[in-house]
């Protein structure tokens, strides 16, 4: 079985490539990535040497129809797993057109190419941000109304709807997964957890939006990857599956946990003007996924974050060049 994984040099995509190749031989993966700022070949260091012909890489933009036609013509793929996305909310506020290009146009190009080439399955990797903000109680379910708050989440909502429309219109075996906030190894140091870790290690201020009381449901990237693979194999076409970590934490508590783990003072915390349209709380109900796919998260966020801190301590050679690029 050969998979076409897009965005496989990014944070979640690279962890998925490692997960599948390391646990599920003899599956093979073709990885397509445009290597924009967050696509880092170092995320897959050693993979070509370890897995040989089971892994190959093509640098290309998923919104480039001609380039995608060439990629799809190379192999007969069982499925496309679409991780490729512009994903940082702040950047979407500054340059929304980049998010439309990759997240909407790119998804459309992939869906059309997959249909023309007889690819059996198409898994669209999405986010709980498509639902907007929750109040203090309750969780998002797969039936919650879509209310995106940022250009990023609006572009992901559009891509999800395109994918599901291809199921209804063309009969493609489309599956959509929506996850909560990921953390773990190889996350680009603009996101909350790696930014706080790397700033603290350099004794730099830790910027916290607003009052820091925004709540997120945190899931370890390894748990997310396991759920995506389960959905790919056993999910029902046309369905949406939630992938959550059952780990709600306030942003400020995440920051303080990181500081305590590193032995750094809380005086490094620097409250900054809140992000426009900043959603107050996300929480995701993954009971459908757990029941239908036999999956459940293995990592608790407090311990998982401590393990992530340890990974960044051991891998300065990976993240220090990325900080210099910013």
Any idea which residues carry the catalytic annotation? 128-129, 152
- CA distances to 12, 133, 204, 206 from 138, in Å: 27, 11, 36, 30
Residue whose C-alpha is closest to residue 197's, from 286, 307, 67, 65 = 307
Host H or E run for residue 256? helix 251-262
How far is the C-alpha of 15 from the C-alpha of 21, rounded, in Å? Answer: 10
* Residues 6+ away with beta carbon under 8 Å from 281: 133, 134, 135, 136, 214, 215, 216
Residue whose C-alpha is closest to residue 134's, from 124, 145, 121, 126 = 145
- CA distances to 2, 126, 156, 176, 287 from 82, in Å: 14, 9, 12, 10, 23
Under the phi-then-psi rule, with left for phi > 0, alpha for psi from -120 to 50, and beta for the rest, what region is 182? beta
Counting runs of H as helices and runs of E as strands, what totals does the chain give?
A: 13, 12
How far is the C-alpha of 4 from the C-alpha of 121, rounded, in Å? Answer: 10
Q: Any idea which residue has 């953390």 for tokens?
A: 183
């Amino acid at each position: 079985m050969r998979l076409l994984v897009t965005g496989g040099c990014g944070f979640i995509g690279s962890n998925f490539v490692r997960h599948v190749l390391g646990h599920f031989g003899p599956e093979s993966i073709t990885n397509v990535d445009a290597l924009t700022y967050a696509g880092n070949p170092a995320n897959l260091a050693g993979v070509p040497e370890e897995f040989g012909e089971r892994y190959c890489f093509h640098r290309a933009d998923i919104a480039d129809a001609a380039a995608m036609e060439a990629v799809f013509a190379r192999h007969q793929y069982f499925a496309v797993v679409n991780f490729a996305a512009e994903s940082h909310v702040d950047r979407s506020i500054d340059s929304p057109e980049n998010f439309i290009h990759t997240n909407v146009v790119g998804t459309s190009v992939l869906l059309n190419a997959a249909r023309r080439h007889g690819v059996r399955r198409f898994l669209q990797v999405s986010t709980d941000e498509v639902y907007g903000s929750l109040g203090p109680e309750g969780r998002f379910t797969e039936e919650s109304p879509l209310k995106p708050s940022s250009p990023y989440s609006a572009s992901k909502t559009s891509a999800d709807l395109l994918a599901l429309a291809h199921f209804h219109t063309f009969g493609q075996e489309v599956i959509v997964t929506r996850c909560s906030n990921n953390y773990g190894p190889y996350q680009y140091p603009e996101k909350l957890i790696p930014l706080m870790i790397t700033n603290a290690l350099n004794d730099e201020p830790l910027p916290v939006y607003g009052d820091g009381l925004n709540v997120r449901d945190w899931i370890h990237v390894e748990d997310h990857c396991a759920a995506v693979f389960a959905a790919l194999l056993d999910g029902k076409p046309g369905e949406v599956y939630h992938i959550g970590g059952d780990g709600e934490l306030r942003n400020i508590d995440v920051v303080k946990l990181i500081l305590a783990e590193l032995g750094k003072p809380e005086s490094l915390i620097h409250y900054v003007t809140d992000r426009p349209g900043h959603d107050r709380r996300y929480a995701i109900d993954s009971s459908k996924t757990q029941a239908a796919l036999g999956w459940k998260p293995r990592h608790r966020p407090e311990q998982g974050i401590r393990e992530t801190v340890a990974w960044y301590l051991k891998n300065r050679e990976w993240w220090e060049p990325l900080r210099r690029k910013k």
